[in-house]
Amino acid sequence: MGEFDLIARHFTRPAPPGSAVVLGVGDDGALLQPTQGHQLAISTDMLVEGRHFFAGADPEALGHKALAVNLSDLAAMGARPLGFTLALALPAADDAWLAAFARGLFALADTHACPLVGGDTTRGPLNLCITVFGEVRPGRALRRDAARAGDDLWISGRTGEARLALALRRGEAWARGEPADIADVVDRMDRPTPRLALGQALAALDGAHAALDVSDGLLGDLGHILKASGVGAEVGVDALPVAPALQNLALEHRLDCLLAGGDDYELLFTADPAARDAVLAAGRTTDVAVTRIGRIAAAPGLRLLDARGHRIEAPRRGFDHFAD
Ligand code: ADP
Ligand code: MG
């Protein structure tokens, strides 16, 4: 199978009617027509074999995850997806692998009406790079630099399950759990859910300010908001939602999963306390749990508090590809 057969067979589909796609796969470039007066939101994320996933990983799950992590970035901007491109380096043109990868990819793309509009395909060590294009009303994007002192700090869903799944897969001694819980946490690692509807609902609220998607651990990623916004924060450790699978871990490991796990793809966001009911309503209408876990403070720095308001020490910081 040559490059063009491969693209035609696995990655060429008609643009869905009513989408922003004027011209999709097959020409020198794609043409997208955003809604009049909207801004483009653009994000790129790359998944490298041996770095972001294990050699031999299930191709269908990889197709899902490669797009999911990109859509999660659009969600964190409060943007609506318009389409995406896919740059693929493949060690071989393996038809069964490509079919399964495309199945996982397009299932998620269809769920969010986000068509594939182009890309590039080459031979090389397995590497999946997606760029997503979305749109947002001017002034409505949820930026990292928009947190204000006095804001509530919120998290969608719950953190830490993907970290536990990774530890189970690596056979780390501290990681254990019931089989049903393990299936759940593995799913959380392999098939993350981008919180697109919630992100867009928050962007429509006057009181929602800053947001990001937690990919490298809650504390490390919160640090990005604090730095960009020039503020500090207090996080109530006992307010963090805890998945059943994490409940029986030793405290040290539970905190490490919750606060520094990574691969969570939940939205961490700040909002005016006057918008509390509206934030809860946004969670309800988009079917995502939202939990208030702290507040933004004018004083710089990140303070962890227990249920009685006493300071506690943070576990290690978030994941950094160049730090280890
Ligand atoms: P060019 O020579 O302009 O780089 P290519 O031969 O790489 O074009 O690609 C031909 C067409 O196929 C282009 O429209 C490109 O966007 C599309 N394409 C290539 N690889 C992929 C892919 N993995 N997924 C989707 N579209 C792809
Ligand atoms: Mg090309």
Determine phi and psi for 22, rounding to 5 degrees: -90, -40
How far apart are the C-alpha atoms of 229 and 147, rounded to whole Å? 6
Q: 0.75 cut: is pTM over it?
A: yes
CA 105 / ligand 2 centre spacing (Å): 20
pLDDT for 217 beyond 80:
yes
Predicted pLDDT at 179: 83
For residue 235, how many C-alpha atoms fall within 13 Å in the half-sphere facing its CB? 26
Predicted pLDDT at 177: 82
Ligand 1 pocket residue status of 120, Cβ below 6 Å: yes
Q: How confident is the model at residue 313 (pLDDT cuts 50, 70, 90)?
A: confident
For residue 11, how many C-alpha atoms fall within 13 Å in the half-sphere facing its CB? 23
CA-wise closest residue to 12 among 156, 257, 3? 3
pLDDT for 324 beyond 50:
no
Q: How confident is the model at residue 181 (pLDDT cuts 50, 70, 90)?
A: confident
Residue ID of nearest Cα to ligand 1 atom 24: 119
Beta-strand runs (E) in the chain: 21-23, 31-32, 39-48, 80-90, 116-123, 127-136, 152-156, 208-214, 232-236, 266-271, 290-297, 301-305, 311-312
How much is the average pLDDT of 119-137? 97
10, 67, 120: which to mutate for ligand 1, most atoms within 8 A of CB?
120
Whether residue 198 contacts residue 267, with contact meaning beta carbons closer than 8 Å, is answered with: yes
Residue ID of nearest Cα to ligand 1 atom 3: 28
Q: What is the pLDDT of residues 3-15, one digit of tens each?
A: 889 999 999 998 8
pLDDT for 319 beyond 70:
no
How far apart are the C-alpha atoms of 221 and 142, rounded to whole Å? 15
Predicted pLDDT at 323: 54
How much is the average pLDDT of 58-80? 98
String of DSSP letters for 178-214: -HHHHHHHHHHHHS----HHHHHHHHTSSSEEEEEEE
Indicate which ligand has the atom closest to the C-alpha of 27.
1
Nearest ligand 1 atom to alpha carbon 120: 20
CA 44 / ligand 1 centre spacing (Å): 17
Q: In the beta sheet, which residues pair with residue 133?
A: 42, 83
Q: What is the pLDDT of residues 242-258, one digit of tens each?
A: 999 999 999 999 999 99
Least confident of 104-108, 181-185, 222-226: 181-185
Ligand 1 pocket residue status of 119, Cβ below 6 Å: yes
How far, in Å, are 87, 120, 219 from residue 129 at the CA level?
5, 9, 26
pLDDT for 38 beyond 60:
yes
Ligand 1 pocket residue status of 116, Cβ below 6 Å: yes
Predicted pLDDT at 321: 54
Quote the Cα angle for 108-195-180, to 5°.
75
